[in-house]
Amino acid sequence: MSDNLVIVESPAKASTIKKYLGKNYKVMASMGHLVDLPKSQIGVDLENNFQPRYITIRGKGELLSKLKKEASAAKKVYLATDPDREGEAISWHLSNVLGIDGKGDVRITFNEITKNAVKESLKHARPIDENLVNAQQARRILDRIVGYKISPLLWKNVKKGLSAGRVQSVATKIICDREDEINKFVPKEYWTITGDFSRENAKEKFSAKFHGTNKGKLEISSKEQADNVLQVIKNAEFYVRDLKTGIKEKNPAPPFTTSTLQQEASRKLNFTTKRTMSVAQMLYEGVEIKGEGAVGLITYMRTDSLRISHEAGVACKAFLKENYPPEYTPDYMPQYKTKSNAQDAHEAIRPTNVFLTPAIVKESLKPEQFRLYKLIWERFVASQMAKAVYDTINADICADKYIFKASGIKVKFAGFTKIYEESTDEAKQDEGMLPMLNEGERVIVEEILPKQNFTAPPSRYTEASLIRAMEENGIGRPSTYSPTISTILDRGYIVKEQKTLKPTELGDIVNGLMTKHFSNIVDVDFTANMEKQLDEIEEGKLWTDILDNFYGELKTEIKTAEEKMKKVVVQDQESDVVCEKCGRKMVIKQGRFGKFLACPGFPECRNTKAIAVETGVNCPKCGGMILQKKSAKGKKYFGCENNPKCDFMTWDEPLKEKCEKCGSMLVRNSFRGHKRIKCSNPDCQKEKGGKKA
């Protein structure tokens, strides 16, 4: 018998764990799942208790043979896949294909990849949790039934390559419904009146907004109403009434869950959900840190719990006492309440070692790794700090029967805000402090500004706000938010415009068909209730009963849809661009990476090209127009209109301005997450560093 064998999913995780376990342990990676349902067919026996048929994933045969050989020679095999349903299922599959008794003490889990956590997990090896496995299987089979039974109807009636999904179809409907709200929105007129005031014999100025009368708030909906107010206060005396001062406390935001991490990384770092989870995975599995070797920097990143371990709280308190004045460390250990429907198996997302500050690890991390780690570290440390305290002042400024309201706020004690403040999707308005007013004091009118406004339609969803909506409605789970958004973008059901998500014509068509023929699948409440039922499998509920009830209803809907769903033709918009290969006018199509031009003569003519946007900048090589284009993978680049005769191409955005030193074209690019302007001439010294854009 040889050493003990530990199997994890990835080489990075294997490298980190190997460092902690030493020479008596061999650590290998399964590279994710080794077996799965077949792609060519549904792979589930719908008439025989939903029994799945698993096959070895193509290309994994050689790896499977190596794992079998090592497992048979090992003294003991430990399955150390991720601590969630998916990880439990991978361990279950491994136990089956490697001939390991899953009822023995073979399964180890840890929420963070640290020496203590990994060593401790070996002392608490347990059997594979079949309820967790069943929960994963039920989700997988349920999603397979929806996808493989409904998608062919979309292929037949719309076009090939489309898909329906238990979570993706609801997410698409949420976005389509919001677009309907925007299109149907009728703006309403309203007026605001702002007064700029000053104190007598003093330079301090402040503003106050019209509120109403002594009887309460008054909405001004027309110019006539606004003029009436202005006429009354035109010669009135303004004085201070009901002056109130106070203290306001603000609590820190809790440590991150998967959802809040994705939202905040979108808002603060401009990361997509996919990028956030990819970088977080690297930080969790282990990164080479100078002087430390491979280190798992954060705890497991798929969680909806706000809990942190007592040890982590104690360590953070010690860090704060060492690095900040005493008043920044609260006497208590901050606790945050996890939502009732959350899975509390893991801690919130936090640094594994709070003393490894962003500054210490910066030179060892890639820019995107550093930025995300800094965000996680700051959020966690701030969550354990004292509240922020503000001085507040509110005053009513009266003129005749009308009241203007003024308010101010000033930081009294920064508390947690010294490190971190949570951002929001809504615009934030800063409030300064009012001057030291006195009740009954007369104030001088500097200017009264009436302004016509119109109510705005609801905003389109961003990735951040869509995730929040999905979480609030119980749609999907932490592991599904990112792949769901990626899927509906890839299918062309939605597109990104700036940071907002907008349905395409195709998305509207598919959503319309799904809403008409499969109303339960796209119903938010139905989907949320299904999520609860799937969660109950973890507690021992029979998973086949849930599938049986679901499929019984779905079969009837499928049969009706096969008879009544009508073919819908997606009309392509014709462009003015002539296909240089066959002479037809090219049409605009929606692809995975946005719109592109395609020849309508497909399949006889397969010519496609990017939709070019003029930049207004001339090519430095031939004088032609530089066009903005997209690569095959959707990345923006700039090239000459005379391509292929002229080979000019750059990833940097060309500017009309010329370099003051050499006369070459200036370009704007991103460097370590910051925009900067530099000279396009590599020999020009202005290129070194550039200046901020």
Cis peptide before 644 (omega within 30 of 0): yes
**Is 300 an annotated catalytic residue?**
yes
User: For the chain, give me the number of helices (H) and strands (E)?
Assistant: 17, 30
End-to-end CA distance of the chain: 63
Exposed, middle or buried by CB within 10 Å (0-12, 13-18, 19+), for 171?
Answer: buried
Query: Among the options 20, 300, 373, 420, which is catalytic?
Result: 300
Instruction: Give the Cα separation of 588 and 580 in Å (integer).
Output: 16
Helical segments of 503-624, H only: 505-517, 524-537, 543-564
Instruction: Give the Cα separation of 679 and 683 in Å (integer).
Output: 9
Secondary structure letter of residue 642 according to DSSP:
T
Tokens 């976005």 locate to 175
* Paired residues of 588 in beta bridges: 573, 597
Helical segments of 270-309, H only: 273-285
Select from 426, 427, 457 the least CA-distant residue to 177. Answer: 457
Instruction: Give the Cα separation of 541 and 245 in Å (integer).
Output: 56
Cα→Cα distances 596→495, 589, 611, Å = 13, 5, 5
Exposed, middle or buried by CB within 10 Å (0-12, 13-18, 19+), for 296?
Answer: buried
641: CB partners within 8 A, 6+ apart: 612, 619, 624, 625, 626, 627
- At 236, the amino acid letter reads A
Is the Cα dihedral 33, 34, 36, 40 positive or negative?
positive
Q: Catalogue the active-site residues.
A: 300
